[in-house]
Amino acid sequence: MTVTVHRKSHFNAAHRLHRKDWDDEKNREVFGKCALPNFHGHNYDLTVSVTGEIDPTTGFVINLDDLKQIIKDEVEDYLDHKNLNLDIPEFKDLNPTAENIVVLIWNRIRKHLSDDKQLEVTLYETPRNFVTYRG
């Protein structure tokens, strides 16, 4: 029997969606206002979900205090109040779309979990635009 444990978090960040090998017109056509050159911000919300067996000794799938600390170290401290294009090396040549951000977050959390746990991350870029990654 497995149970899923969830922890919510949030961070604020700036970004711009564009391709260096496209001109302004093409970038504007594909990425719309998200291509504007001077960046814009989002209040990102995320839900981190860990699935596994309940440890009979503790009653935990994962200690939520531990999960909270992992998310703080790997997501909030790394991304909060950052310019994703300029400050985060992974996005130097990769568009910081919700899809690419959720994969980055998943990879940073996954390395802290044992192999017997499943991880799912849902990232809200806006209240109505959100993505999910399960690895």
Is 42 annotated as contributing to ligand binding? Answer: yes
Q: Of 67, 72, 55, 73, which Cα lies nearest the Cα of 5? A: 67
10, 45 contact by CB (below 8 A) = yes
H-helix or E-strand containing 70?
helix 64-71
Q: Is position 125 an interface residue for ligand LPXRUNBV (rule: CB under 6 A)?
A: yes
Q: Which of 45, 76, 99, 120 binds ligand LPXRUNBV (CB under 6 A)?
A: 99
Residue 59 CA to residue 89 CA, distance in Å, equals: 39
- List binders of Zn ion among 13-52 (CB under 5 A): 34
Please give the biggest Cα pair distance in the chain.
Answer: 60
- Nearest distance in Å: CB 96, ligand LPXRUNBV: 8
| Contacts with Zn ion, residue ranges (CB under 5 A) | 34
Annotated binding site for Zn(2+): 15, 40, 42
Annotated binding site: 15, 40, 42
| Contacts with ligand LPXRUNBV, residue ranges (CB under 6 A) | 17, 34, 97-99, 125-126, 128-129
